Amino acid sequence: MNKSKPDSIRCCIIGCTNIGKSSLFNKLCKYNHAITYDRTGVTVDIRTESVQINDTKVELIDTPGFDECHESSDGKLQAQINTRILKAIKNSDIIIHVLRAANGMNNDDQDWHQQIIKLDKPLIVVANRCDEATCIHESCYQMANDEPISTNAKSGEGITALRDNITTLSAQIEDTKPMESSSVENDEHIHSIAIVGKPNAGKSTLMNKLCGEGTSIVSRDAGTTVDTVKNHWLYRESTYQVLDTAGLRKKAQIKDGVEIEAVGQSLNSITTRGTVILHMIDATIGVSDQDMRITELVRRKRNKQIMIINKWDKLSSELKTTYRKNIANITRNHPYIPVVMLSAKQDRSFKKLMECIRKVCQQKPVLSTAFLTRSVAEISAKHPPPLIHGKAIKIRLCHAQGNDSYRVAIQGKRLKQLPDSYIKYLSNQLTKQLNLTGIDVEIRIKEDDNPYVS
């Protein structure tokens, strides 16, 4: 494996809950990647983004608050959060510790500051929300051992000074940082996959299974994942960027502002061209109308998809038999979608899932006009289109449209009068001939010009 100078400096933003860490993260990214809301408990997962700060490549890390779950008394969840914060700190080159300017350090800040001192990490102290304070609390100066950077993350005040400080420290670190393996971020063949589904279907558990334990926070409570979590999975010499998304409930059930933003991020993952969608379904609940809406949305957006029936081990033999029949009925309209029965916690069929992901991601058929035209001619010869007023519908040509290998145009006479059912038949047969998995062939119609019509 090639060794090189580090591609980017890892910079971790830490601090107590609801003091503007995610707002600061968004300002440094120059884009609203992280969801921000004026209440505790919004950020519970680690979020990373590769950004350019001045002339320096930085992997920016947004973390949950030290005291994210104190009010809920959920000790197990807070323990998971603390483990991830500590791991993020250890793997980072620069720590940005955000304090509330008016109040300074509290007990949690002091405890974590001691850990940073032991790790001997370069530290930037930020006194945030200075519009609320007439002066910066003296404890901010004590932690910084110098002048803390005064910021207002909402307005952007002090962000330039913070960016300059990061750049200065980065230059010092790059001169002393050892050579390391080339980053997967530079892999030109990264496949993007997104795990989507209703709340509590097992998305974060699958994310941890693929990318390593501790990637996503796992809880029995629905709606734990808010921000879309991104990480990388290496399998059989290929790199996959994996996105763990917030659960998708029915639109009528979404009232909370945070959930509205979270669902927006999830839908953005579905609509991003080239993303393979892993659609997680809880076997103990069954396939709902909402699940079918998700399936149809992915199809319309022309992304590949795999349906995963999770918690399969929790069903009895009788229920499994019934479930398979129901799945067969549901996928009758989408026969190209592979279905994997899985228990994300117990490795059931996990190897089958990984191979299915690899196959779906790597299929890239090269379609020539001659091959497509010949295939459509053979298909229509077996089952000709219906006559229109006694006249035959003639398909003269079929060719790939644009750069999308899965969208083709058929050209000929009277094609606008083709029934939808016949177009669906052509699509299904072409999909079978091409041995496509996860996506079907979309057919568009182009009518031949009539030379007798000016």
Q: Report d(CA 281, CA 311) in Å as an integer.
A: 9
Structure tokens at 263: 């669902």
Under a CB-based contact definition with an 8 Å cutoff, are residues 124 and 95 in contact? yes
Q: In this structure, is residue 388 part of a structural domain?
A: yes
Which of these three, 163, 183, 203, is where a domain ends?
Answer: 183
Q: How far is CA 50 from the centre of its chain?
A: 15
Same domain, 332 and 413: no
Q: How many domains does the chain have?
A: 3
pTM: 0.71
Q: In this structure, is residue 207 part of a structural domain?
A: yes
Same domain, 69 and 205: no
Same domain, 357 and 392: no
Structure tokens at 349: 């069929």
- From 371, 439, 449, select the one nearest 415 (Cα to Cα): 449
Q: In this structure, is residue 402 part of a structural domain?
A: yes
Q: In this structure, is residue 78 part of a structural domain?
A: yes
Buried b (16+ CB within 10 A) or exposed e, 428-447: bbbbeebebbbbbbbbeebe
Same domain, 315 and 327: yes
Q: In this structure, is residue 335 part of a structural domain?
A: yes
Same domain, 90 and 225: no
At residue 174, the pLDDT reads: 74
At residue 273, the pLDDT reads: 76
154-179: pLDDT as tens digits: 788 889 999 999 999 998 887 666 55
Q: Tell me whether residue 244 is exposed, middle or buried, using C-beta atoms within 10 angstroms of its C-beta: 0 to 12, 13 to 18, 19 or more.
A: buried
At residue 340, the pLDDT reads: 93
Q: Report d(CA 124, CA 427) in Å as an integer.
A: 58
Q: In this structure, is residue 453 part of a structural domain?
A: no
**CATH code of the domain in which 418 resides:** 3.30.300.20
Structure tokens at 254: 């979404």
Residue 153 neighbours by CB distance under 10 Å:
24
At residue 331, the pLDDT reads: 80
Q: Which amino acid is at 28?
A: L
Under a CB-based contact definition with an 8 Å cutoff, are residues 112 and 143 in contact? no
Which of these three, 149, 183, 217, is where a domain ends?
Answer: 183
Under a CB-based contact definition with an 8 Å cutoff, are residues 409 and 373 in contact? no
- From 439, 229, 238, select the one nearest 354 (Cα to Cα): 238
E strand or H helix that includes residue 342: strand 339-342
Same domain, 164 and 203: no
Q: In this structure, is residue 325 part of a structural domain?
A: yes
Which of these three, 183, 209, 233, is where a domain ends?
Answer: 183
Q: Report d(CA 234, CA 343) in Å as an integer.
A: 21
Show the domain range for 242. 187-362
Same domain, 255 and 293: yes
**CATH code of the domain in which 154 resides:** 3.40.50.300
Q: Are strands 394-400 and 407-413 parallel, antiparallel or unpaired?
A: antiparallel
Q: In this structure, is residue 131 part of a structural domain?
A: yes
CA distances from 334 to 255, 353, 406, 431, 435 (A): 32, 19, 15, 11, 14
Q: Report d(CA 407, CA 296) in Å as an integer.
A: 17
92-112: pLDDT as tens digits: 999 999 998 888 888 889 988
What does residue 40 show for φ and ψ, rounded to 5 degrees? -80, 160
Same domain, 98 and 141: yes
Same domain, 169 and 110: yes
Same domain, 353 and 376: no
* Residue spans of the chain under pLDDT 50: 1-5, 33-40, 42, 181-186, 217, 219, 221-224, 253-260, 263
323-376: pLDDT as tens digits: 888 888 778 888 999 999 997 566 668 889 999 999 999 888 878 899 999 999
3-state secondary structure at position 35: coil
Same domain, 302 and 315: yes
Same domain, 148 and 179: yes
